[in-house]
A and B are shown apart, each in its own frame.
Chain A
Amino acid sequence: MLKLDNVSVNYGAIEALTGISMHVEQGEVVTLIGANGAGKTTTLRTITGLLQPRAGSITFEGEEIGGKPTHKLVARGISMSPEGRGVFANLSVRENLRMGAYLRKNKGEIAEDMDHAFQMFPRLKEREAQKAGTLSGGEQQMLAIGRALMSQPRLLLLDEPSLGLAPLVVHTIFEAIDEIRGKGTTILLVEQNAHAALGHSDRAYVLETGRIVMEGPSKDLAADPRIKEAYLGE
């Protein structure tokens, strides 16, 4: 479904990604783990067109998408909940969700999907009219995920959904990820919390200083002594 082939990305003169290749298949949950600054967010920003690759190709459902403007990629079915959540603090919860469905026309369907989002995260329903800036970190993360789903994506990218959240909230978020996957949405999950990420995904890639250093089924990686030592703290 999504294929990165030898993709390199630069920030000015500094190379942030060095020829990374990876793929995500229909219906999979793939996770990308690595230390802070390894290039995980850069990878997602490049896939969504917020950054331009210097070299390499990115294809989505067989079509080259490298360097295409972000809003066109959203129209093709890619959606992302960005790092730091990126909710519009000056907009209400409902307006945030409405923006998630920006490209959709059918008001009835949009209303239905908004109800789904509220079912998934009842806390959001309670705060429907509140400005997103007044929400707690966990609620903002729920909103970011709910909002990303509003475009009915076929591929959902999640950037550090558990970052800075209390364990109980992290649990809620990962339950939601399982639920989304259960409905057939393909997910590429970027996480520092390797333990949770490996437990909720099919396959995983490990990124170190802009290079993919390991890949394989999540179960195998979770059992790998090197991963255990470096990322699972065992």
Chain B
Amino acid sequence: MPTLVKRLLAALVIVLLLIAMNSYMSEAGLFGFGVPPYYARVIMLAGINIILAVSLNLITGFTGQFSIGHAGFMAVGAYSSAYLTVYYAQAWERSLGGMVGGSLAHALIFLLAILVGAIVAAVAGLIVGIPSLRLRGDYLAIVTLGFAEIIRIVILNIDKVGGATGFTVPGYTNFLWVGAFAVITIVIVYNIVHSDVGRALVSIREDELAAEAMGINTTHYKVLAFVISSALAGMAGVLFGHYTSFLSTNDFQFIRSFEIIIMIVLGGMGSLTGSVFGAIVITIMPELLRQLPGDLSRYRLVVYSALLILIMLTRPQGILGTREFGLSWLKRARRRPEGDKPVGTGGVPIAEQEPPSAIDRAKEVKNQ
């Protein structure tokens, strides 16, 4: 029971913190203090990017299935929910508001929009995932990229959602929504990773054939992870669209998918805290580079890409590798100076994983 109490307390603290942060970040501010709009925007985008990175990490980092199509599912979520809020929300809000009060009705309808975005994105994930996940490695990557581009071009041709001119969307998203769903995403993915399903996913990443030989239905688990990952990306898309209040298919080009991959690789694939960290760094880095003096600020994106290459050259396994950052981290790090254990997809030198340790094989022979 105490763990349940602990968890409830933790949830309560998080909720209170989010509410406080939310008013702190609103225009009115908290006790007269507020966050300047520019910073508020960066924080909001960082929160949305956390959802995207953590959800992609589930399929790419933990399951080892290389997807470059995350922006496509984000777009599906954004546009499907926006269709709802633009064409139906006002009428529903009026009729529902009479029953439960205005602000609750508003919240319920946005919650519905988020659910719709997630579900439609999940369906898209299922349709894309079932045929694609039979492919492996680079082929899977290019096919997911292809699907995402097709999704984008199809949306571009739907006049009901603005087509090429863009789609104006009500600005429902505030920090409370972003913060809450970022926490929910992390909790969902954390729980999956630490369940039997998670262990199946990791075994697929480590060696798909072996996993299959052990009786794991790899297709089932890969599709499952892909669908969940897509649903969460769709959710991020809903929040994104209703934050920027304007949707353009240009926001969902493959470069956006790349950006999310960069976040998880930078943070360390197979590390949840790494994804959070990577999302924050990738959101803030270009903004910080705006501060470069004078003429140099023109080169901020050049510096940004150069930094990216530099990080990869100096820390190829990502900043956290496969570790998780937490209170026990320092202790554990001291106990295990070797640091990261070799993980196939994690960015560890191939040379290290190549030979099935000669010694072990020798021991096997001797033991027989």
Contact = CB atoms under 8 A, between A and B. Distances in A.
Chain A bound to chain B? yes
A228 B202 CA distance: 45
Interface stretch (A11-19, A155-163, A178-186): A11-19
Interface residues of A, number: 16
B335 interface: no
A227 B352 CA distance: 33
Contacts of A221: none
A37 B357 CA distance: 8
Interface in A148-194: none
B357 A14 contact: yes
A35 B359 contact: no
Contacts of B354: 11
B358 A42 contact: yes
Interface stretch (B56-64, B248-256, B360-368): B360-368
B362 A210 contact: yes
Contacts of A15: 359
Main SS of chain A's interface residues? loop
B359 A14 contact: yes
Contact of B360 (A35, A37, A41, A42): A37
A70 interface: no
A36 B365 CA distance: 7
Nearest to A45: B355
Contacts of B366: 35, 209
A11 B361 contact: no
Interface string A33-46: 00111110110000
A181 to B, nearest CB: 28
A36 B352 contact: no
A36 B361 contact: yes
A111 B364 CA distance: 47
Interface of A: 11-16, 35-39, 41-42, 208-210
30 contacts: A11-B352, A11-B358, A12-B342, A12-B352, A12-B353, A14-B358, A14-B359, A14-B360, A16-B358, A16-B359, A35-B362, A35-B366, A36-B361, A36-B362, A36-B365, A37-B358, A37-B359, A37-B361, A37-B362, A38-B358, A38-B362, A39-B358, A39-B362, A41-B358, A42-B355, A208-B362, A209-B362, A210-B358, A210-B359, A210-B362
